[in-house]
Structure 1
Amino acid sequence: MAPSIVAENSIVVSAGEQDQSLTDRNTFATRVAGKGADPEKKALLSAVTKRIDYSPKIGTELHGIQLSQLTEDQAEELAALIAERGVVFFRDQDDLDNSEQVKLGKRWGPLHIHPLVPHNQDNPEVIVLDSRLSPPTRFNTNDSWHSDVSFEPAPASFSILKFEEIPESGGDTIWSDARTLYDELSPAVQAFLEGLTATHSSDIFKVLTQSTGRKTFGKLNDSVHPVVRTNPVTGHKSIYTNPVFTREINGVTASESKWILDYLNNLVVQKLQYQVRFRWEKNSVAIWDNRSTYHTGIPDFSPFLRRGVRVTVSGEKPYFDKENSTTQAQGWEVKAKAIIAKQEAAGAAKEA
């Protein structure tokens, strides 16, 4: 029986015969984490000592929270906050080791086992992003925008990423808001896209298996998902295609498919107002909602090294609910009016 290939620090980089069916464990979420949480998030936010919103619509950093010590109510409220803000950041999470990271992820759903990326030998749900591994250009940083494992029948809901070793400079990660992308399209284009599906493929990993000779930990899937997706926590619509895993738009010609995908992908890259950028520190953690965001690592840290570990929570089968979906813009309009009213009141008080 062919053994798996294990690198230093118990990192499994290639499957042996005994673990080529690990991904058979992958399954769908049976509930929507965060959907029934307190909308005011009192249990979570009462413990926060400092909150930094990176932009009005996406990205929040919370201080005073240790992820390994969350109560059940706090964990549910955090899931809701991540769905609302797209990505939430934490610093100084020294005690969030692999087992605690797995424990946190399992609070929100079943954990995904990646078919190719190296993982921890004891916890195959924990994938390892270490620039010492080969080939570093794909396993350890990614300069292409994507939503994690969108090729799976049950793609990622949340991803939890912690960096244990960071470069002296470089290596930031950027997230982009797929809800804003949808909201800023014209109504005619929105309606057109809402009627389409797209095929998401693991072709990039199939190429890697051929070029490296590595054995996979299970099947490399292709899946069909709606182009416009409903987030089950917020009800907001977002564009659910990405440059890495979306192979084609279904039901149109090849040239039309390329035109649609190129247009959407270019918006993700070019529209800076959709984006937030995070500068990692040792033991920082980012948790994001793959149903409403894209992200990309920046491969600018050579010759420095970095090492991170990620746990990926499998979500529901992607769907679009035309009757019950809303837009982020509709909810934001109410918040914007409240912010303007507060600013005007502060100005009037200052003049008085």
Structure 2
Amino acid sequence: MAPALDQIILSSTEKDNGLADRNTFATRVAGMGADPEKKALLANVTKRIDYSPKFGTELHGIKLSELTEQQSDELAALIAERGVVFFRNQSDFDLKEHVKLGSRWGPLHVHPLVPHTTENPEVIVLDSRLSPPGRYNTNNSWHSDVSFEPYPSSFSILKFDEIPEAGGDTVWSDGYQLYDSLSPSIQAFLEGLTATHTSDIFRVFQASTGRKTFGKLNDSSHPVVRTNPVTGWKSIFTNSVFTREIDNVTAQESKWILDYLNDVISKRLDYQVRFRWEKDSVAIWDNRSSFHTGVPDFKPYFRRGLRVTVSGEKPYFDKEASTTQAKVFAKVSEAIVAKQEAAENAKQETIEKASATIA
């Protein structure tokens, strides 16, 4: 159950004006070294729905509140590969379990401005009732959570307990496929660049409302092409909300690069999956290699939920050790084609045997 209004902290006081300054980085990479087949996790799956061949998966039969350490590590690896993983019917995944799962993967991030619960400042409250007109809003704006931090988020875990009767979906886009879609020349060019990510959107909101922050509003520089440490795959790591500029190029060149990348993120439907929320649904995604946006189409209904954001490692690009999703998926694609061909051949053999029997 989501916290009552009197359990939500909207603005900083002297007691908690330095909470976000305690944010740190993960000392281990969750999912790295996990069983590639993820047997412990997938043994309990009763149904798996892949939203697209490369991106987005829904798992049935899993109770997030009952995961073992091994299963949670394999889940982290699966999320790094699939970008975002969805779960339904997680009524027992309460605030305590929410925090527990996130903490297994790394230190939990305290947001410098978004309202949080009194009990756990790491648990942010996403309640449309708390949103005054003109607030900062990352709905309808593609982003990777808290990319302005020196150690941005690895994973985010989101559960809504109040769903609008219509609208309110969330859409994710795949940073791996975005990188793979670029020509080799543009890939090589972007691999040599960094970009500045900022808290400017929150500074504007703070200036207009006077709301006090829970800590410093950071700006950070990160590589434009990032290596996901779990998969080793290359992903684009810029977004339209927090990336202010490409470093060491002209303002016009920066705008050209970011406009193009943001345009691809938002318009390439073949890189995207869309999730229709239900009560007690949970989405967990990898912020290092995916982007997401809420769809602000649910007025006059309300939407309310809780999110835990896991702090990750400092973003890096390793040219020598990195590979691409496309190269890895080429082998998977061959297996899928072979399976389909075998099924077609078996079907044809059955038809031929039946024809021979009739004859």
TM-score, structure 1 normalization: 0.97
Query: For the Cα contact (< 8 Å) 1:129–1:140, is it kept in 2?
Result: no
Q: Which residue identity lines up with residue 191 of structure 1 in the other structure?
A: A
Aligned residue pair count: 347
CA shift for structure 1 position 9: 3.9
Aligned mates of 1:8, 1:23 — CA distance in 2: 21
Q: Which residue identity lines up with residue 31 of structure 1 in the other structure?
A: R
Q: 2:355 is matched with which residue?
A: none
Q: Describe the shift of the 1:308–1:137 C-alpha distance in structure 2 as closer, same or farther (beyond 3 A).
A: farther
Q: 1:245 is matched with which residue?
A: 242
Tell me, yes or no, if structure 1 residue 177 matches structure 2 residue 183.
no
Query: For the Cα contact (< 8 Å) 1:178–1:238, is it kept in 2?
Result: yes
User: Residue deviations 1:208-257, cap 9 Å, x none?
Assistant: 00011100000000000000000000000000000000000001000000
CA shift for structure 1 position 318: 0.1
Q: 2:318 is matched with which residue?
A: 321
Q: How does 1:202-217 map to 2 (within 5 A)?
A: 202-217=199-214
Query: For the Cα contact (< 8 Å) 1:130–1:306, is it kept in 2?
Result: yes
CA shift for structure 1 position 18: 1.4
1:104 to 101, 104, 122: 101
Q: 2:354 is matched with which residue?
A: none
Q: 1:284 is matched with which residue?
A: 281
1:155 to 152, 155, 164: 152
Aligned mates of 1:138, 1:299 — CA distance in 2: 13
Query: For the Cα contact (< 8 Å) 2:109–2:122, is it kept in 1?
Result: yes
Aligned mates of 2:4, 2:280 — CA distance in 1: 23
Aligned mates of 2:302, 2:289 — CA distance in 1: 30
CA shift for structure 1 position 139: 6.0
Q: Which residue identity lines up with residue 275 of structure 1 in the other structure?
A: Q
Aligned mates of 1:109, 1:215 — CA distance in 2: 27
1:51 to 48, 51, 65: 48
Q: 1:342 is matched with which residue?
A: 339
Query: For the Cα contact (< 8 Å) 1:175–1:296, is it kept in 2?
Result: yes
2:38 to 22, 38, 41: 41
Q: 2:303 is matched with which residue?
A: 306
Aligned mates of 1:78, 1:164 — CA distance in 2: 23
Query: For the Cα contact (< 8 Å) 1:61–1:89, is it kept in 2?
Result: yes
CA shift for structure 1 position 134: 2.5
Query: For the Cα contact (< 8 Å) 1:130–1:140, is it kept in 2?
Result: no
SS of structure 2 residue aligned to 1:175: strand
Q: How does 1:75-224 map to 2 (within 5 A)?
A: 75-135=72-132, 138=135, 142-224=139-221
Q: 1:3 is matched with which residue?
A: none
Q: Which residue identity lines up with residue 320 of structure 1 in the other structure?
A: F
Please report the RMSD computed on the Cα atoms of aligned residues, expressed in angstroms. Answer: 1.2
CA shift for structure 1 position 97: 1.1
Which structure 1 residue ranges, 4+ long, deviate > 4 Å from structure 2? 136-141
CA shift for structure 1 position 137: 6.2
Q: Which residue identity lines up with residue 106 of structure 2 in the other structure?
A: G
Q: Which moved more, 1:324-333 or 1:15-24?
A: 15-24
CA shift for structure 1 position 98: 1.1
TM-score, structure 2 normalization: 0.95
CA shift for structure 1 position 138: 4.7
Q: Describe the shift of the 1:141–1:323 C-alpha distance in structure 2 as closer, same or farther (beyond 3 A).
A: closer
Q: Which residue identity lines up with residue 33 of structure 1 in the other structure?
A: A
Q: Which moved more, 1:191-200 or 1:129-138?
A: 129-138
Aligned mates of 2:214, 2:139 — CA distance in 1: 21
User: Residue deviations 1:21-68, cap 9 Å, x none?
Assistant: 001220010000001111110000000111000000110000111101
Q: Which residue identity lines up with residue 330 of structure 1 in the other structure?
A: K
User: Residue deviations 1:67-91, cap 9 Å, x none?
Assistant: 0110111000000000000000000
Unpaired runs of at least 5, structure 1: 1-5
Aligned mates of 1:64, 1:346 — CA distance in 2: 27
Larger CA Rg, structure 1 vs 2: 2
